[in-house]
Amino acid sequence: MTNVRLKEVATKATKTDFYNQFFTAARITSIIGYFGQLISALTEFHLFFSALGGVYQSNITIKTFFAALGGLLAIYIFEYLGVRIYLVRIIRQLTNRDFQGSERKILFVFNLIFVVALCGANLVSSYLGQKMTFTNKINVRTTDKTHGLEIEKTTKIEALTTQYNKQLQELTTQYNNDKNDIKKRYDSDIKELKNSRWTYRDNETKYNSYTAQIDSKLKAKTTDLSNLKTQLINDKEQLKNVLTSQKNDISKAFNNRINDISKVEHSKINLIATVQEYTLPILIIFILLSWFAIVYNEIFVKGSGQRIEIKEVEKRPVLISVLLLGIYEKIYQMFYYITARIVGTKKYQFGSIKQDVVKYDLSKIHIKKQSKQPVKIAAIRQIGYNRNNQNANNDNDIVNISNVAKTNDLSDLKPNNVQRYTVNVEAKETVNKRHCKNCNKVFEFKHWNARYCSDVCRIKNWEQRTGKKLKKKQRK
């Protein structure tokens, strides 16, 4: 069994001078391009693998398995479809200036959209994957002493946080008290001014004077409340800065003690940070080089006078699959042979797939029993009617072949003569006898396509198949 697939194949170069001058560079550029796609694929796989909840460990779980499938799917979409399919089509069409016809132009626009989307996603996903490459990397070796120091550090930081929250609450309480005092003082003065203004409502000059005083009090009240709130914000910010500074000092002191106890080499941590910082531009450069390699290759093919042709390539299966298929066929034939020997061919209706094989094997068995010399006999051919719809006739064919072997010695005939002789004998022995498709009764037929012994059986069979009653029309 073979599976036929299509493959792009470059024809032989017509411009040999150009080809000989650049073929080495084209190969090196292609290798660099594949290397760039490889490191890009690794970062993409890491991004989607981590995003889907995958964990790098020896035990494979269902969650990790599906996360790995997601990463491989991302590689297939971005690296194969995006770079090796759509980008190649765009560059090839631009290089060959293949823009004749509206259909080609429309497809070029669609391919360009796909290229921009997939290659852009390729670049962004590789960037994010590289940023996540060294995340959560732990180089600190936890011991009992360092664990105790971690607990002590956490306790002190929590104490500072509690003190900060207490001071913050005190500031808020003081602010609320001061704000209420300001409101009470100004509200009392404003109320007295409003009452005095009411007594002089008939005197316009004094009424306006009290109004101006009330506005002045309201403005002063707003200013004092604003200043009080600003003071509260500044006090909170100062308090927060003090807390942050104290927490940083505690963390720094305890981290130094933890590093001294666990004997951590800071040079390793610095090396990892350096790798993470400086491999990003290298990654981007190699991704761009992988795209450039495709452009280079298409220009090289065009300059060499080569054409890209689509050819059918047979994808041959692995040898182990051929071996398994052969074993399956042998076991299949063995069980059919055993079944035919036990129940007989007239009691067991074989499927259409293995009928020829079983008939041929059984015919050889009968011939070996009846003849001392090996007899060459050809496989049975179809004669005049559809053998697949007549299983009972298959049994008659086997018996007729055996009868031929009993009465005729065919060992000296050639294969073609054997086949012709067998067909003639079969025609003489079985051409006028057949089983009725309805009642299974043996009858002699005059036409090769006759399937029923009478019109009654033919009508009954039609009524059983269709579920209808045949209505006969009277002749006029």
- pLDDT tens digits, 288-312: 999 999 999 999 998 998 888 887 7
Q: What is the pLDDT of residue 236?
A: 86
Helices then strands, each counted (H, E), the chain? 12, 4
Distance spanning both ends of the chain, measured CA to CA: 61
Q: 118-158, pLDDT tens digit by residue?
A: 999 999 999 888 887 654 444 444 455 667 778 888 888 88
pTM, rounded to two decimals? 0.42
pLDDT band at 271 (very low <50, low <70, confident <90, very high): low
Q: What is the radius of gyration, based on Cα positions, of the chain? A: 47
Q: Helix, strand, coil: what percent of the chain each, to 5? A: 70, 5, 25
Cα 350 to Cα 329: distance, rounded to the nearest angstrom: 16
Q: What is the pLDDT of residue 358?
A: 61
Q: 362-391, pLDDT tens digit by residue?
A: 666 656 555 544 444 444 444 444 444 444
Q: 16-57, pLDDT tens digit by residue?
A: 889 988 989 989 999 999 999 999 999 999 889 988 888 887
Name the E strands within 250-394: 308-315
- Transcribe 42-68 into DSSP letters: HHHHHHHHHHTT---SSS--HHHHHHH
Judge whether residue 117 has pLDDT over 90. Answer: yes
Q: 247-269, pLDDT tens digit by residue?
A: 888 888 887 777 776 654 445 55
Q: What is the pLDDT of residue 38?
A: 93
Between vectors from CA 136 to CA 130 and to CA 138, what angle results, nearest 5°? Answer: 125
Q: Mean of the per-residue pLDDT values for the chain?
A: 76
For residues 447 and 346, which has the higher predicted lDDT (pLDDT)? 447
Q: What is the pLDDT of residue 228?
A: 87
Nearest to 129 by CA among 31, 273, 270, 276: 276
